[in-house]
Structure 1
Amino acid sequence: MNTRNHHIDALRGAAILGVLLLHFALAYGLKNSPLEILPAWLLRAAYQGNYGVTMFFVISGYLITSTSLQRWGDLARIDLAAFYLYRIARLLPSLLLALSIIVLLGVLDVPYFANSDGGKDLPASYFVIAIASVLTFWHNVLMQSAGYFNYCLNVYWSLSVEEMFYLLLPLSCRILRRRQAIMLLCGAAIVAGPVYRSLHADNEIDFMYGYIACFDAIAIGCLTAMLTQRWQPSARIGRLLRWTAGLALAAVYVRGIGGNEVFGFTLVALASAAFILGGVAAGPASQRRPGPLQWLGRHSYELYLFHIIVLAGMRNVVDKAGLGYAERLPWLALFLAATALAAALVARYVSEPANAAIRQRWRRAAEK
């Protein structure tokens, strides 16, 4: 039985699409191109892809918490070994593949894959600490001290935030045990987020990439999952929530991050939670085929890992200075198509079989 919710998949698809557009826009620019026929406010929305990451955090908080509640009945009863193994099985195989490609090309000193510090090349040995930071959940902290030192690895800061959440959630729930205490912890994270961002609003690596800067969105997702366990809106209210939340997300995107460093991310998180709540009211996906956004949402992790590798490869083939304004849209289409193909292949031949094999082996070991 298909229990996926196509509304949540669509939200996740919109989030990853925002990230892809942002990174292409930063690499090649969308201004002074055929897209200039669009209103300036709509074009500006393409540069707000970091809001898409906030949407991911809310979705992750919701899905991990709701799945844990379904699997173990109570957050206090989370099986630590099983929880961590499920996360490893889902995340690690395709991540190791992506990191291997980046390191190989970086060691060969291929542009946009190698490490650099303010234009000065770093030794290949720096990959040791860089990859270690990705695999041990503190790549965002490394970036706070080293800056943007690797074009491909830079985007993996958000994975460190998610991984730290995966590490802390079951431990916190097992320690706190009571639902009210867990909710208070989430509330504290929601309050701390805007305070932290207000204190670091002059540094985007701090106010966007820090743990505390992001945990409020994850906490909002967690609380949404706990809410839906006790109450779900009617189908009519669900539709109203989805439409209202969708319009709110569009409005915040258009307004942009600049000047809204403190509460812009909070608004995106709340709107995303409202959309999820409305999606829950609609129930799991029907038998109809998923649309493009749902497909993007279902493959969002592989798209996230490999889109930057595709983009780095493109930048080695065609430079922004040599790309005419009229050519940017075809290259954008090529980038999206190549990224989708890479994600589909990785999901089909790496992520899904490795995930299934690791879980199956663990179940067999547990039965002995």
Structure 2
Amino acid sequence: MIPYSCQDIDSTDIEAVTQVLASDFLTQGAQVPAFERALARRVQAREAIAVNSGTSALHLACLALSVGPGDRVWTSPISFVASANCARYCGAEVDFVDIDPRTGNLHLEALERRLADAALDGCLPKVLIPVHYAGQSCDMRVIARLVNPYGVRIIEDASHALGADYEDTPVGCGRYSDITVFSFHPVKMITCGEGGALLTNSLELAESARLLRSHGVTRDPARVDNLEAEPWRYEQHALGFNYRMTDLQAALGLSQLARLDAFLAERRQRARRYQRAFEGTPVSTLHQLTEAHSAWHLMSVLVPAGIRAEVFRRLRQDGIGVNVHYLPIYRQPYYQQLGFPPGYCPRAEAFYQSELSIPLHTRLSDSDQALVIERLLHHVEALT
């Protein structure tokens, strides 16, 4: 089976992890701070806080922005459930803004209308979480212009988008948002095995996230009473979580981060090959903004809606590991119980009926990519 995505681990990655295994610290050593510094430099952000998953990073981002019961958080319906669950963990209500089916990202006019209506109804969100679908940045300058007059804070869910850029600056730099979140799951741009991070230019938000990452416990001399007399002392200042990243994960992340440019070049080359192959066919690729360069986490294509399920089935029979990203979050049973009806975001529904994620990763050979192209076009043309 040709996977739709997979990790790319080489001998340098293995050696980096092995060195930590032979060291004195498997966790809470020097590797996590080193990874955080390298990541912050890479995306031109002031602070990076590494955690054990992208979901943990989203949760801490909401908590750092004081999301809680009675608050509202808006996000995209076309994403993994964590983009909405993070707000529910905080006791907040979640709502969804429809997408632009050309890109899979938030629909700007839909957002503008929803904000105006919510302002009249007195139910504005505290936080908006735009999702950079498939690796391409949302149009963040416009999103910030729309939400800033209402005092809405922004968390960029860039789980797909490490290495992407927007307006010639790296996604994660915080130019138009309060916090950016990355994921380091094995199918993402780089992997820590599991892992995530939140990036911010606010020292206050960073301090809050760091405290909550580790049980709410600190040994900071500026915050702990009587530390000179009791040097073993630590204090819990908040109800935090065990969201720490291990040094094993961070060592792998550091090694992978050094290879990010090579990963990006290979993904972009393969994406261009797909784009050329599907020009003038019933298979369409996502529209790319002129001011953005995608990290190409996913190769998301659209096929005629009525045949998607059969195309999926036939490609799987051919040994091609296609996938679908995503069932709109509000159609998940948990969110249906909260009262979201089918068809709540019509553009997202239409997108879901046509979307197919085909293999795209650095280990995809030219011959395997040629097979994916040939079989996909063969099945689509046979069914239309």
**TM-score (ref. length: structure 2):** 0.25
Greater percentage in strand: 2
Q: Identify the structure with bigger relative contact order (alpha carbons < 8 Å, sequence gap 6+).
A: 1
Q: Which has the larger radius of gyration?
A: 2
**TM-score (ref. length: structure 1):** 0.26
Greater percentage in helix: 1
